[in-house]
């Protein structure tokens, strides 16, 4: 049986491993295909010596693929770069050199960004955007440009005298890929975390359409006009996108502007057009690199500002909630202390008004009333003191050998008058002495709190207290037939200051919390079974000796 199960789990593991390799294989093929297609598109843009182009989306695709899916996709980058270059006419050796540079670029860029503590793909932290700008733009893209152009020079495709010029073109093309394509993929690959998430509604659709129309309108205007200043008009929709749509708006608008600008410039239209296509593209891509960097920084700075405000707002709400719950507690506590005080006051006033010294029965009655109110106040004050003791971890336990049944009987005897007043009948069923090493005062407190709740919420119906146990555990069961507790409230009642809304005769909402704290301090537990309108049963388990506690 055992080996059958093991065999099954090994097979399941193998199946999972196979599925994961197939998934990786498919992802590598997808990266390769996208890499080749976008690379060929870029190489069509008047590439220097046929290989160094100013439009190179593959850098961004490779970087995003490795950051999102992990380093394991590097073969896709290698294969894509190798194929794209051999298809363009490079020898195997040159293509291998270029592909190595491209893989190193993606791996180094990914490694640099992943080394930033807490790097987030949504690029909503200024430090992540600065890392992208500084580490990727100055570091990893230079690796690819240096190795790529060196391969071309060694392969005799680019003369050494043109190394510098070709290098600059290669590097700028890669920088654009890293600044425009990678952020687009990275930001859209995560669920929105923006501090001010916008709900998808008609207003949002309307505003998105308006932003799109403004980009289209500006494109028609700017590219029908040769003045270079016209290009700066694109800052308007970019600012709009940053302010209203966050980083997603920024990366999408920048990408859209870039596509329009590159295609128009290639067709010889617009402010960037110069003598040759590569000069035009150089002017355009320099502008696009600065624009992309500026708006990525703006987008992240705005997002950070929103986080800051949201955080402040949350802190304020929490502080207000704390003040509200403190006020509520003070009001409930004062109310609870006032009731026995009023009772005491009344009893003493009656006693004063009737000079019945000598009337033994009257004196006894008054003394009993006073004693009851004092008992109630003492219990309240004890509960309050216990809260601070438990919170400070200073719940002191004095262990001695005691019988659970005797404690229950003592408490019930002490509460005789309250029991009579409540109209409930309390029966105690105790097995032969359930003796354990407990702190009698604390056990008494458990019994008292459960009994007083049963009297308060027992609707005058019979109450049953059972004491039972086995060798290791003593069990106290308090069962009433009163108002009961709704299922959804049953876990809440053991929390501090929790009182169920329907309870009119509630106290401070501390009794059950204290019971649970005491029970768990001795390694025991408490649970409740209850049905609304039918009553509740509280079951407390106490290990008979501290050594038995789990």
- Name the site residues for ligand ADP (rule: CB under 6 A): 449, 453-454, 457, 480, 482-485, 493, 498-500, 503, 506-513, 536
Residue closer to ligand ADP by CB (options 195, 333) is 333
Shortest Cβ 512–ligand ADP spacing (Å): 3
Shortest spacing between CB 131 and ligand ADP, in angstroms: 52
Cα-trace Rg, the chain: 39
Tokens representing 114 are 């992943």
Task: Specify the residue, 64 or 514, whose C-beta has the smaller distance to ligand ADP.
Answer: 514
Task: Show the DSSP H helices in 423-550 as ranges.
Answer: 440-457, 511-521
Smallest distance from ligand ADP to CB 398, Å:
24
Which helix or strand (DSSP H or E) is residue 465 part of? strand 463-469
CB 11 within 8 A of CB 5: no
- Rounded to a whole number of angstroms, the minimum distance from the CB of residue 425 to ligand ADP is 15
d(CA 18, CA 41): 35
CB nearer to ligand ADP: give 469 or 509: 509
**Least distance in angstroms from the C-beta of 391 to ligand ADP:** 16
- Return the number of the residue (16 or 534) whose C-beta is nearest ligand ADP: 534
Closest distance of CB 420 from ligand ADP, Å: 19
Residues sharing a CB contact under 8 Å with residue 435, sequence separation 6 or more, in sequence order? 401, 402, 403, 404, 544
Q: Quick one: 82 or 513, whose CB is closer to ligand ADP?
A: 513
| CA separation, residue 26 to residues 59, 74, 80, 186 (Å) | 20, 13, 14, 20
Task: List Cα–Cα distances, 368 to 20, 302, 349, 361, 500, in angstroms.
Answer: 78, 70, 15, 11, 31
Q: Which of residues 192 and 528 has its CB atom nearest to ligand ADP in the complex?
A: 528
Are 67 and 121 in contact by the 8 Å Cβ rule? The answer is yes
Closest to 237 in 3D by CA, of 216, 263, 223:
216
d(CA 372, CA 344) in angstroms, rounded, equals 9
Closest approach of ligand ADP to the CB of residue 446, in Å: 11
| Nearest Cα to Cα of residue 501 among 517, 485, 512, 513 | 485
Q: Give CA separation, 182 vs 116, 173, 254, 384, in Å.
A: 17, 13, 12, 59
Looking at residue 48, the DSSP 8-state letter turns out to be B
Which residue's CB is nearer to ligand ADP, number 241 or number 512? 512
The phi and psi torsions of 434 (rounded to 5 degrees) equal -100, 95
Q: How far is the CB of 303 from ligand ADP (least distance, A)?
A: 44
Interstrand relation of 426-430 and 463-469 (parallel, antiparallel or unpaired):
parallel
Cβ distance to ligand ADP smaller for residue 155 or 506: 506
Measure the CA–CA gap between 98 and 86, rounded to whole angstroms: 10
For ligand ADP, the closer CB: 295 or 513: 513
Q: Are strands 525-531 and 535-543 parallel, antiparallel or unpaired?
A: antiparallel
Of the candidates 83, 86, 81, the one whose C-alpha atom is nearest the C-alpha of residue 100 is 81
For residue 200, the minimal CB distance to ligand ADP (Å) is 42
Decide whether 413 or 501 has the Cβ nearer to ligand ADP. 501
C-beta separation of 87 from 36 below 8 A? yes
We find the least distance from the C-beta atom of residue 494 to ligand ADP, in angstroms, to be: 7
- Please choose, from the candidates 16, 86, 6, 92, the residue with its C-alpha nearest in 3D space to the C-alpha of residue 51: 86
Q: Which is nearer to ligand ADP, 32 or 481 (CB)?
A: 481
Closest CB to ligand ADP among residues 282, 513:
513
Q: Mind giving me the DSSP string for 137-167?
A: IIIIHHHHHHHHHHHHHHTTSS-GGGHHHHH
By beta-carbon proximity to ligand ADP, the closer residue of 171 and 513 is 513
Q: How far apart are CA 3 and CA 443, in angstroms?
A: 50
Least distance between ligand ADP and beta carbon 502 (Å): 7
Nearest distance in Å: CB 383, ligand ADP:
8
The rounded distance, in Å, linking the Cα atoms of 541 and 527 is 9
Choose among 67, 49, 157, 148: nearest CA to 114.
67
Tell me if 105 sits within 8 A of 182, measured CB to CB: no
Which of residues 247 and 452 has its CB atom nearest to ligand ADP in the complex? 452
**In whole angstroms, what is the distance from residue 446 CA to residue 451 CA?**
8
Least gap, CB of 498 to ligand ADP (angstroms) = 6
Question: Nearest distance from residue 489's CB to ligand ADP, in Å?
Answer: 7
């Amino acid at each position: 049986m055992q080996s059958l199960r093991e065999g099954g789990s090994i097979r399941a593991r193998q199946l999972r491993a196979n599925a994961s390799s197939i998934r990786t294989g498919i992802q590598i093929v997808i990266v390769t295909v996208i890499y080749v297609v976008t690379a060929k598109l870029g190489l069509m843009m008047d590439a220097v010596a046929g290989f160094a182009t100013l439009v190179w989306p593959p850098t961004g695709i490779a970087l995003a693929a490795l950051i999102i899916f992990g380093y394991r996709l590097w073969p896709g980058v290698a294969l894509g770069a190798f194929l794209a270059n051999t298809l363009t006419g490079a020898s195997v050796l040159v293509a291998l050199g270029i592909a190595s540079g491209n893989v190193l670029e993606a791996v180094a860029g990914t490694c640099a960004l992943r080394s930033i503590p807490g790097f987030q793909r949504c690029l909503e932290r200024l430090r992540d955007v600065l890392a992208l700008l500084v580490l990727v733009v100055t570091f990893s893209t230079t690796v690819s440009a240096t190795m790529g152009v060196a391969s071309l020079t060694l392969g005799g495709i680019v003369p050494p005298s043109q190394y510098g010029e070709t290098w600059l073109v290669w590097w700028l093309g890669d920088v654009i890929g890293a600044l425009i394509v990678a952020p687009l993929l990275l930001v859209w690959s995560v669920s929105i975390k923006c501090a001010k998430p916008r709900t998808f509604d008609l207003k949002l659709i309307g505003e998105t359409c308006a932003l799109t129309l403004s980009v289209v309108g500006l494109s028609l205007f700017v590219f029908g006009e040769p003045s270079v200043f016209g290009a700066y008009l694109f800052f308007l929709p970019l600012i709009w996108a940053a302010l209203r749509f966050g980083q997603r708006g920024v990366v999408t608008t920048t990408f859209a502007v870039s596509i329009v600008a590159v295609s128009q410039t290639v067709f010889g239209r617009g402010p960037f057009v110069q003598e040759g296509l590569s000069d035009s593209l150089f002017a355009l891509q320099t502008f696009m690199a600065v624009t992309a960097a500026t708006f990525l920084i703006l987008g992240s700075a705005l997002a950070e500002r929103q986080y800051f405000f949201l955080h402040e707002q949350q802190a304020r709400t929490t502080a207000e909630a704390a003040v509200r719950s403190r006020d509520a507690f003070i009001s409930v506590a004062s109310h609870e202390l006032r009731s026995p005080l009023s009772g005491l006051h009344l009893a003493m006033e009656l006693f004063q008004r009737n000079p019945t010294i000598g009337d033994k029965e009257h004196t006894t009655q008054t003394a009993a009333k006073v004693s009851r109110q004092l008992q109630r106040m003492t219990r309240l004050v004890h509960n309050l003191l216990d809260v601070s003791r438990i919170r400070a971890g200073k719940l002191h336990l004095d262990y001695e050998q005691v019988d659970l049944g005797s404690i229950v009987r003592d408490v019930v005897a002490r509460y005789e008058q309250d029991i009579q007043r409540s109209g409930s009948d309390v029966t105690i069923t105790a097995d032969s002495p359930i003796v354990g090493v407990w702190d009698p005062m604390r056990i008494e407190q458990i019994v008292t709190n459960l009994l007083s709740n049963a009297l308060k919420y027992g609707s005058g119906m019979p109450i049953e207290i059972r004491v039972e146990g086995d060798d290791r555990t003593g069990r106290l069961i308090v069962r009433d037939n009163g108002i009961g507790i709704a299922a959804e409230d049953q876990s809440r009642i053991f929390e501090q200051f929790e009182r169920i809304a329907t309870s009119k005769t509630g106290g401070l909402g501390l009794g059950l919390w204290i019971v649970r704290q005491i029970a768990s301090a001795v390694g025991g537990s408490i649970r409740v079974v209850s049905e609304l309108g039918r009553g509740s049963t509280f079951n407390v388990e106490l290990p008979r000796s501290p050594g038995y506690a789990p």
